[in-house]
Amino acid sequence: MLRLALLIDRISILVGSTAAMLVLPLGLIMTYEALARFTFNLPTFWAYELSYMLTGAHFALGIALVTRNNGHIRIDFLYSKMPTRVQQILDLSILLFFIAPLIIWVSLGLIEYAWTAFKVGETSGESGWNPLIWPVRLSIALGFVVFSIQLISEIIKTGSAVFAIDTKSFNG
């Protein structure tokens, strides 16, 4: 099971690292928009739309990597005072019974949302550019699917710790 968790972690690293590269075109687009708007008084129609699409894809595709790296913000004034074993049991319970089922359910809804946009050829309706919206919805759905899978990895790793399975050879 720990090998499966390691494989999932590698997928999250690959997807998250790829998503991190979306910041580069986003920065270029926003720089171009700022120069066009404030220097030449020529705002663009497409920059806002493309920037919110890239930002949404960036965040959704990166959430699994943040989870893998334990980088989410947590308010732990009580949690940090608990014994490690209690923390592990609490983490496993929350992951298994609340977070994973919720995110899997949301992922399924996002897949359906993207599929519907694809089937009907839905466009953004935000500007004259009016691009198809399914690619960004698909990337967000994919991000949540990878997040769901990463939560399974977290359940495996946390469950291994709770049930004292040897994790010394695991480099997660």
Q: What is the pLDDT of residue 13?
A: 97
Residues 84 and 93: their CA atoms lie apart, in Å, by: 14
Q: Which residues, other chains included, contact 73 with Cβ-Cβ below 8 Å and sequence gap of 6+?
A: none
Q: What is the pLDDT of residue 14?
A: 97
Q: What is the pTM of this model?
A: 0.88
Q: How many CA atoms lie within 13 A of 62 on its CB side?
A: 16
| DSSP tally for the chain: helices H, then strands E | 6, 0
Token output for 80: 């940090």
Q: What is the pLDDT of residue 76?
A: 81
Residue 130 to residues 22, 41, 43, 62, 133, Cα–Cα distance (Å): 21, 22, 16, 26, 9
Regions of the chain with pLDDT less than 70: 165-172
Residues 113 and 105: their CA atoms lie apart, in Å, by: 12
Residue 81 φ/ψ, nearest 5 degrees:
-90, -10
Q: What is the pLDDT of residue 165?
A: 63
Nearest by Cα to 6 from 163, 161, 153, 152: 153
Q: How many CA atoms lie within 13 A of 129 on its CB side?
A: 12
Note whether 19 and 63 are within 8 A (CB): no
Token output for 115: 């599929």
Residues 155 and 74: their CA atoms lie apart, in Å, by: 18
